[in-house]
Structure 1
Amino acid sequence: MAKFEVAMVPWLAIGHITPFIHIANELAGRGHRISILLPNNTALRLQHLILHPNLINIHTIILADIEGLPIGAETASDMPEDPMGHPLAVAIDLTRAQVEEHLSKTKPHFVFHDLVHWIPDITKQLGLISVCFHVISAASLTMPLVLQRIVPEITTLTQEDLSKLPNDFPASFINKLRGYDRYEFVHSLLHISRSPGVGIASFYDRIFISMKNCDVLSIRTCRELEDGFCDFIGNHYGKPLLLTGSVLPELVITPLEDRWANWLGGFEVDTVVFCAFGSQLVLEKDQFQELVLGFELTGLPFFIALKPPIGCQTIEEALPEGFEERVRGRGVVHGGWVQQPQILSHPSVGCFVNHCGFGSMWESLMSDKQVVLVPHLGDQVINTNLLVEELKVAVKVEREDKGWFTKESLSKAIKSVMNRDSEVGILVKKNHVRLKEVLGKPGFTSGYIDKFVLGLHEIVNQK
């Protein structure tokens, strides 16, 4: 088959950029050429992820000096108190002229984008093909359509509310929404309704406009997880829909850092609870303290890797009084970077507590650990509903009316899956094992990529 050229303009958040690099590696591994448009320091941070430097080129873009954008900030994780904040969105939108200049010079066959909603405007002018490649779940991508139909001020999801959903919205998901935690549902929708950029009202608009105006839709998911949602999206937008599967890279076997390997090695198999909330999420101090006290309450050994909470420079200053002394020897709370894949693969780790961002969701599914979910915002809430209610492979921590959980509810959720005699723990483990067998069978991942590439070839040939 002929080789094609691709340009990629991902939203500037690590959780978005990384899957773009992974799909670039898959395409380059099949001989195609890719350029990824990123700010310089971000490119340097992520250069090690590029497996085919002879075919993948980083084209540097420069972010404007916007009021409210911290010096040196280039991604959402550089804005700890407001990772989806207005200044970064404005700075990204102001790169439009740079992006257009690059595309007009290079004329790639395809331009991949996600939340950079103005890419289709440029590609149409230049005669290029825009591919809206979303790295969040198909279930989450249906939520902007829900937002159009359900008034956020209501306090319960009634039959009348549900009747406002599209007729072809997946029936099983509608059933699961009956009695669904109203706070979580509304919060997930409202979260994408703020933080505008240049000439746009909200993140909801970015998602909707990107999908409406692109030539091709693509989602980092598979039908084995989200068949109904994929059909709904394809039918609703009436354009080609290509799925990539998980696009998870093969784990590079590098040793776990000695201090953590030695510490984890001191515990029995499947006894340690590991907690991580991704590169962006920063908790309020009271939330952080409730979290670590919940782990203490389990009585189990635990390893927590989180950023210091808002207003604190270090993890140590944020810990509750006497906490370190009480958990010494069985608990670690670390504020720096850790080798998450290696920790998750350690035999002593038996449970993964995470926020259910889509990357963490895939890591959870492909691990052999029990899964406890603490969604915080946006698509995390929808992903959690998918894993807990639809697939029944995880449990979630129940929330209070104010939207946060207590140490008791966190402890209860963890113990419900870590107790070997727990009916809930046995059920989710059984379902998880069965699903992992499907997702992990030989050729499953590469098969999705092959179909994806074939679909791109067919689109080029039709042009």
Structure 2
Amino acid sequence: MVEKFHAFMFPWFAFGHMIPYLHLANKLAEKGHRVTFLLPKKAQKQLEYHSLFPDNILFHPLTIPPVDGLPAGAETASDISISWGNFLFAAMDLTRDQVTATVHALRPDLILFDFAYWVPEMAKEHRVKSVVYNVVSATTIAHNQVPGSELGVPPPGYPSAKVVYRAHDAHALSSLSIYYERLFYYRVTTGLTNCDFISIRTCEEIEGKFCDYIGRQYQKKVLLTGPMLPEPDKSKPLEDKWNNWLSRFEPGSVVYCALGSQITLEKDQFQELCLGLELTGLPFFVAVTPPKGAKTIQEALPEGFEEGVKGRGVVWGEWVQQPLILAHPSVGCFVSHCGFGSMWESLMSDCQIVLLPYLADQVLNTRLLTDELEVSVEVPREKTGWFSKENLSAAVTSVMDKDSEIGNLVRRNHSKLKEVVVSPGLLTGYTDNFVVTLENLLKETNLA
């Protein structure tokens, strides 16, 4: 009989990290293991409904200490602009005493973490195993976060000549990004060096050679969980408002564009985005946050734009049910920033994929899909990082035109890759193997 274990989870205070951790918590709980999830107080209400096994998953709220520069009441990355992330890092580090006291009181068998680089040291003191669980791509870790790597330059032995930065990526490698990458570099490399085991939210079929490279660099086995996508919630169909609107159009004709919650465009780039989609002549649905300096989407739209696209274009500034929109028969193209979660959603869909990355990791994800796997196209940019409405329109048209050579190539490649990824048992096999491996590793440790 398998001994049941108790796992702590302590992800970075951002929903893009906490939600995949909770999906993994559900998998552990499903197998009868217990999970204590450490998170900021306010986040609990937003995450609780993702928990499918409330008897086995306990939420343990942390008090976020005040930090000079962190706005009062801010507890997660959603509460602040990306430029204030270092203050949230400082607040996370100040929860160390709370985390230590909870470990001491509840005596877990292991603790999964990502950016709290001090966890392995604390865990060893309490004879608890530490597991780095990375929810960003293996590609990003392999390029930017192995010992001796320099930002923007492939490290020695890096396994791809295609998944790299180029001259026009300066916007993603700006001084702000470099500052964060150095912070991430220290946190991630320290955690990976000192932890007992490494795990990554990916699969061999997409990022196998990058995972192998990370394992060699850190001389540790790398465990894969698969992408940890949630099961579709059949009780919550797509809102009637959007279902009815999308259903007015031909199958596969609508362009859906979303850039994630972290990206807030400058007003001129927001307008260029809207005009670029208008220029395609296709029906489109844009879901982005209002641009900088604007309280609403409407006040920032180009003059005369709403009238010009009436009936075929929607620009929306609030949350939408993205997986359900991508699954709608009328949607045929996904314009995305290629954050890791959106990357997986695009691969699991039947949509053509057009990529417009902003941050350093998104650029590498984009090159993986566009240049290595050849399942997408990237919107060209100038060296300043600017993209034009013409380039955006041309990229979308190139994949939506039925006679386009590149459009047919990426469609074929995407279809083949999706067939592999959704093949029966593949993704559940990853999570099952991951749990069994953890069980065995803990058993071996207890016997030692």
- 1:440 is the counterpart of 2:441: no
Structure 1 match to 2:66? 65
- Take 1:424 and 1:139, find their aligned partners in 2: how far apart are those partners? 24
Question: Contact 2:77/2:88 (CA < 8 Å) preserved in 1?
Answer: yes
1:11-44 deviation per Cα after TM superposition (whole angstroms, max 9, x unaligned): 0111111100000011111111001111121110
Q: Quick one: structure 1 residues 316 and 51, their matched pair in 2 at CA, closer, same or farther if it must change by over 3 Å? A: same
Which blocks of at least 5 consecutive residues in structure 1 are unaligned? 153-160
Structure 2 match to 1:135? 135
Q: Quick one: structure 1 residues 24 and 176, their matched pair in 2 at CA, closer, same or farther if it must change by over 3 Å? A: closer
Question: Contact 2:251/2:330 (CA < 8 Å) preserved in 1?
Answer: yes
Query: Cα distance, 1:149 vs. partner?
Result: 4.7
Question: Contact 1:189/1:378 (CA < 8 Å) preserved in 2?
Answer: no
Query: Cα distance, 1:94 vs. partner?
Result: 0.9
- Take 2:109 and 2:386, find their aligned partners in 1: how far apart are those partners? 46
Query: Cα distance, 1:71 vs. partner?
Result: 2.9
- 1:166 is the counterpart of 2:148: no
Question: Contact 1:358/1:380 (CA < 8 Å) preserved in 2?
Answer: yes
* Amino acid of the structure 1 residue aligned with 2:91: A
Question: Contact 1:83/1:280 (CA < 8 Å) preserved in 2?
Answer: no
1:365-406 deviation per Cα after TM superposition (whole angstroms, max 9, x unaligned): 001111111100121011001000111111110111101211
Structure 2 match to 1:266? 248
Query: Cα distance, 1:193 vs. partner?
Result: 3.5
- 1:359 is the counterpart of 2:341: yes
Query: TM-score, normalized by length of structure 1?
Result: 0.92
Query: Cα distance, 1:188 vs. partner?
Result: 4.5
Question: Contact 1:12/1:74 (CA < 8 Å) preserved in 2?
Answer: yes
Structure 2 match to 1:256? 238
Structure 1 match to 2:17? 16
Query: Cα distance, 1:203 vs. partner?
Result: 1.9
- 1:193 is the counterpart of 2:178: yes
- Map 1:268-283; keep pairs closer than 5 Å: 268-283=250-265
Query: TM-score, normalized by length of structure 2?
Result: 0.95
Query: Cα distance, 1:249 vs. partner?
Result: 1.2
1:262-321 deviation per Cα after TM superposition (whole angstroms, max 9, x unaligned): 111111100000011122221111111111111111111000011111111111111111
- Take 1:82 and 1:189, find their aligned partners in 2: how far apart are those partners? 13
Question: Contact 1:144/1:189 (CA < 8 Å) preserved in 2?
Answer: no
Determine which of 183, 192, 216 is the counterpart of 1:211.
192
Q: Quick one: structure 1 residues 345 and 421, their matched pair in 2 at CA, closer, same or farther if it must change by over 3 Å? A: same
Farther-moved stretch of structure 1 (303-312 vs 82-91): 82-91
Question: Contact 2:144/2:151 (CA < 8 Å) preserved in 1?
Answer: no
Q: How much identity, in percent, do the aligned residues show?
A: 50
> RMSD of the TM alignment (CA)?
1.8
Q: Quick one: structure 1 residues 191 and 441, their matched pair in 2 at CA, closer, same or farther if it must change by over 3 Å? A: farther
* Amino acid of the structure 2 residue aligned with 1:33: R
* Amino acid of the structure 2 residue aligned with 1:383: N
Determine which of 293, 313, 328 is the counterpart of 2:310.
328
- 1:181 is the counterpart of 2:166: yes
Question: Contact 1:277/1:354 (CA < 8 Å) preserved in 2?
Answer: yes
- Take 2:385 and 2:177, find their aligned partners in 1: how far apart are those partners? 17
- Map 1:308-387; keep pairs closer than 5 Å: 308-387=290-369
Structure 2 match to 1:399? 381
- Take 2:146 and 2:161, find their aligned partners in 1: how far apart are those partners? 11
Farther-moved stretch of structure 1 (185-194 vs 379-388): 185-194
Q: Quick one: structure 1 residues 20 and 190, their matched pair in 2 at CA, closer, same or farther if it must change by over 3 Å? A: farther
- Take 1:151 and 1:38, find their aligned partners in 2: how far apart are those partners? 30
Structure 2 match to 1:232? 213
- Take 2:162 and 2:321, find their aligned partners in 1: how far apart are those partners? 39
Query: Cα distance, 1:250 vs. partner?
Result: 1.1
Q: Quick one: structure 1 residues 343 and 175, their matched pair in 2 at CA, closer, same or farther if it must change by over 3 Å? A: closer
Q: Quick one: structure 1 residues 185 and 454, their matched pair in 2 at CA, closer, same or farther if it must change by over 3 Å? A: farther
1:77-105 deviation per Cα after TM superposition (whole angstroms, max 9, x unaligned): 211x3266222111111111111111111
Which blocks of at least 5 consecutive residues in structure 2 are unaligned? none
- Take 2:178 and 2:150, find their aligned partners in 1: how far apart are those partners? 13
Structure 2 match to 1:86? 86
Structure 1 match to 2:8? 7
Structure 2 match to 1:75? 76
Question: Contact 1:84/1:195 (CA < 8 Å) preserved in 2?
Answer: no
- 1:114 is the counterpart of 2:118: no
Question: Contact 2:36/2:60 (CA < 8 Å) preserved in 1?
Answer: yes
Structure 2 match to 1:157? none
Question: Contact 1:76/1:83 (CA < 8 Å) preserved in 2?
Answer: no
Query: Cα distance, 1:65 vs. partner?
Result: 1.9
Farther-moved stretch of structure 1 (184-193 vs 410-419): 184-193
- Map 1:40-59; keep pairs closer than 5 Å: 40-59=41-60
- Take 1:348 and 1:147, find their aligned partners in 2: how far apart are those partners? 46
- Take 2:150 and 2:325, find their aligned partners in 1: how far apart are those partners? 41
- Map 1:406-421; keep pairs closer than 5 Å: 406-421=388-403
- Take 1:4 and 1:297, find their aligned partners in 2: how far apart are those partners? 56
Farther-moved stretch of structure 1 (299-308 vs 183-192): 183-192
- Take 2:227 and 2:388, find their aligned partners in 1: how far apart are those partners? 33
Question: Contact 2:82/2:262 (CA < 8 Å) preserved in 1?
Answer: no
Q: Quick one: structure 1 residues 150 and 109, their matched pair in 2 at CA, closer, same or farther if it must change by over 3 Å? A: closer
- Take 2:177 and 2:128, find their aligned partners in 1: how far apart are those partners? 29
Question: Contact 1:14/1:279 (CA < 8 Å) preserved in 2?
Answer: no
Q: Quick one: structure 1 residues 246 and 149, their matched pair in 2 at CA, closer, same or farther if it must change by over 3 Å? A: closer
Q: Quick one: structure 1 residues 418 and 457, their matched pair in 2 at CA, closer, same or farther if it must change by over 3 Å? A: same
Q: Quick one: structure 1 residues 150 and 62, their matched pair in 2 at CA, closer, same or farther if it must change by over 3 Å? A: closer
- Take 1:110 and 1:126, find their aligned partners in 2: how far apart are those partners? 10
Question: Contact 2:197/2:222 (CA < 8 Å) preserved in 1?
Answer: yes
Q: Quick one: structure 1 residues 461 and 139, their matched pair in 2 at CA, closer, same or farther if it must change by over 3 Å? A: same
Structure 2 residue matching 1:194: 3-state secondary structure? helix
1:30-79 deviation per Cα after TM superposition (whole angstroms, max 9, x unaligned): 11100111112111011111111110111000111223222322211211
Corresponding pairs, count: 443
Q: Quick one: structure 1 residues 378 and 37, their matched pair in 2 at CA, closer, same or farther if it must change by over 3 Å? A: same
Structure 2 residue matching 1:259: 3-state secondary structure? helix
- Take 1:428 and 1:202, find their aligned partners in 2: how far apart are those partners? 36
- Take 2:295 and 2:272, find their aligned partners in 1: how far apart are those partners? 18
- Take 2:136 and 2:64, find their aligned partners in 1: how far apart are those partners? 25
- Take 2:259 and 2:12, find their aligned partners in 1: how far apart are those partners? 19
Question: Contact 1:273/1:353 (CA < 8 Å) preserved in 2?
Answer: yes
* Amino acid of the structure 1 residue aligned with 2:119: I
- Take 2:410 and 2:15, find their aligned partners in 1: how far apart are those partners? 30
